[in-house]
Each structure stands twice: as structure tokens, then as C-alpha cells.
Amino acid sequence: MSDLRAPAPPAPPGPPATPAGTLPGAPVTSDGTPHGTLDGALAGLPPEASGAEVWSALGAGGHLAACYLDGDPRRGVRPAALARLLAATDARFGIPATLSVSVPLATTLPVLATGTTPEARRALEDALAGRVTTALAATDATAGTDLSGLRTAVHLDGDTVEVTGEKQWIANATTASWFLVLARLRPGRHFTAFTWVLVPADAPGVHVRPADSSLYAASGTGHVRFDGVRLTTGHLVDRVGMGLPSFARHIATERLAGALWGVALCRRVLADTRRRLAARAHGGATLWDNEAIRQRFAACLVRTQELHALCEQFAQPVARRYDTTAAATLKAAAGATVGQVLGDCAQWWGAAGFADGSVQQTRAQAALFGIGGGATEVVLATLADSAEHVLARLELRGDTP
């Protein structure tokens, strides 16, 4: 069968290949295999463990580093390893803790890995080993998806860097040792007007407060204010002015991670729901024998398999080429699929679904799949901009059956 995909645009230049083990503190073997199993690494934690506790356990066992080629975030993610880690975390600890693991793995550490200063290298090594948590501080006090309109600013004066502004709804905010801050260098919306700054959480002028939400307490979500935080230029990450291009590349990986996680979440909730339906007596049979429910359940299975198929199709283009169109497709599909599947399952649980920790709470938490990492409307606009490319990829070739 011929390849139905349109020719891909040239891949952006990536980092040079580096031998395994170049990141001290990433405890994996020479072939990237972690020490011990995922289940073993997480077995000692209670179900209510925080995201920071989960991160620490995963890092100590080498499972964070194992999500990257050769254990190095500069080399890109290994989608299968990332999917296994997110599924295991979601199954044991739920959405908030998984959120606090997913964002650093997919976005924060790969961006941080572009830094070459001692501060950036130390933060990366400690994070990979699970010794510290990091927070991606991109979402501003302005509209979260409008990054080119953010107000948090960085002022450069010789060897001094000063950061002022506020970031809101930041995962890991209350537990982070470091904030990776996207800040404005100069006025205007040009993509070169922004850069990344690595800010220590204990620096004078950093103020953190928890978000007023119990839904994501285990993720350490909060708001961060920077009141004239003064640092050295060693805290600048990557080349000055590369903030938005770097973010655009790595948010693609975060969207892949979200889709992989979405498949695992839908499978988990559907499996739990089917067991309940099969055990719930109704009219001399069970709720599972109700044909209307079976039809809707089958539709949820179809949607989940569709998302899984998209992940299989687009995992490598996103992981290796940072394909933004493929990533937008995954993000839009994940938001729609998770919303439908959890909405239907919540209905079938009836009143029991409103118990603390039950499916209605999971459904509310899962709304982030349509908002975090780019609202569904935003990523659909990205797809519309790429309509000709998408349609060309879908064109049937003469040798296609």
C-alpha cells in the first residue's frame, strides 16, 4: 500500500546526538532501560499521593529519563514509554497527579534541555532524577492561549536579568523548585519578542499562592507573581528571543502526551463503567443488557479506538519532527473524545457518580483536555490554516485499495 501522507516539511535542526549517560542524575542503564518496573516504583505510594511525590518516585527509579531517547530530553520523547508511564500514573493516582507529571515530561524538561548554563543543567539533572519538581510558567494573567499578548516581562541590563509579572493556573506551582518562565523582551507581538528565564522558587520577589480549586490540589496548581526578581544571565534558557519558537515545538509533544493519556483515561473509565453496568440489576436483567446503553457504549469504544489510531499514526511525526498540524489534530480529537466518553459514563453511573472521588469528579477534572495546552477552538483554527496540507494527505492514490 502506498503512503497516503503528503511529503512532510523539512525537520527543524535538532540537537546533536549525545551518548547515553551524559546527564548525571538520570538513573538508567546504558540502553535507556530504567531500574525496576513502573509498578514497583509507584507501589509504595498511597492513592492520594501528590504529583510531586509521584514525580520523585518515578525519577528515582529512572522512569522519567526512560521517556526520552538515550535518557536525554534533547533527543525527543519515546512515545511508547511515555504512554506507559502516563497510563500507570493515571490508573493509580488519577488526573491531578498525572497532570503534574505530564507537563514537565512533555514540555518543561525538553525546553530546559536547550539551556547550556550551569543553572539550567543542574535544574534538568535534578528534575530527571526526581530530586526536584519544575513548573512551566507560560500561561499569563492575560488570555492563556494568547501567548503573544502576555505581559510578564524580562529586562536585561548587562549581567542582570529582572523578571516582573504574574502567571496563573500553573501546574506544580506550589511544589516547584524552579519556574521556567516565558517572558516578554520587548513590546509587540513578534515571535522573537519573548524568551525563557529559569527562576528559582526561593528567589526574593517570587510569590506563590494555591489556586482556589479542589479539583487539582494534588497537582500543586497555583498562581505565581514575580516582583522585580533579579537574577544573572545564567538563568536565561536557550538563545534570547527564541521563547515562542521553542514553545511552539515542544507544545506539540505536550499535545501528543495528552492524546496518549486520553486513550488510557477513556479505557480506564470505560472498563470500570462496563463492570458496573454488568453488575447493576435492572428490569430482570442488568443495565448492560439495555440496548440503548450498549449502542452508546459501543460509540464510545469507536471514539476511543479512533483516538488510539490517531496516536499511532502521528506519534512519530510529532516526536521526531514536532509536526504542529498532527499535534493539533491529536489535541482536538483528545478533547472531543474524552468529553464524550466521560460524559456518557458519568450518566450511566447515576447518583453514585456524584460520590467523592467518583466519575463525576473525574469528568470535571477531565475538562482540561479541551482547555489545557491550547483550547479546542484554538487548535481547530490551526487545523483550518493547514486545510490544504491535510486534504492533500487524505488524497487517495491510484494504487490504494
Quick one: pLDDT at residue 23?
Answer: 46
Q: What is the band of 143 on the pLDDT scale with cuts at 50, 70, 90?
A: low
More confident residue, 194 or 16: 194
pLDDT (mean) for 24-35: 52
What are the pLDDT digits (tens) for 339-370?
A: 999 999 999 999 999 999 999 999 999 999 99
Quick one: pLDDT at residue 205?
Answer: 98
What are the pLDDT digits (tens) for 121-132?
A: 999 999 999 999
Candidates 345, 339, 330, 121; CA nearest to 237 is 121
Residue 400 has pLDDT above 90, yes or no: no
Residue 21 has pLDDT above 70, yes or no: no
Say if residues 330 and 256 touch (Cβ distance below 8 Å): yes
Quick one: pLDDT at residue 148?
Answer: 78
Q: Which grid cell is 99?
A: 497532570
Residue 17 has pLDDT above 60, yes or no: no
pLDDT (mean) for 77-102: 97
Per-residue burial over 52-73, b = 16 or more CB atoms within 10 Å of its CB, e = otherwise? bbbbbbbbbbbbbbbbbbbbbb
Quick one: pLDDT at residue 32?
Answer: 55
Q: 3-state DSSP call for residue 210?
A: strand
Quick one: pLDDT at residue 241?
Answer: 87
Give ∠ CA 207-212-215 in degrees, rounded to 5: 125
Quick one: pLDDT at residue 16?
Answer: 39
Quick one: pLDDT at residue 33?
Answer: 62
Say if residues 77 and 23 touch (Cβ distance below 8 Å): no
Quick one: pLDDT at residue 375?
Answer: 87
Quick one: pLDDT at residue 88?
Answer: 97
Cβ neighbors of 93 (< 8 A, separation 6 or more) are 42, 45, 47, 48, 49, 51, 54, 218
Tell me what the pLDDT averaged over the chain comes to.
90
What are the pLDDT digits (tens) for 253-308?
A: 999 999 999 999 999 999 999 999 999 999 899 999 999 999 999 999 999 999 99
Residue 130: what are its φ and ψ, rounded to 5°? 80, 10
Say if residues 157 and 142 touch (Cβ distance below 8 Å): no
Quick one: pLDDT at residue 36?
Answer: 79
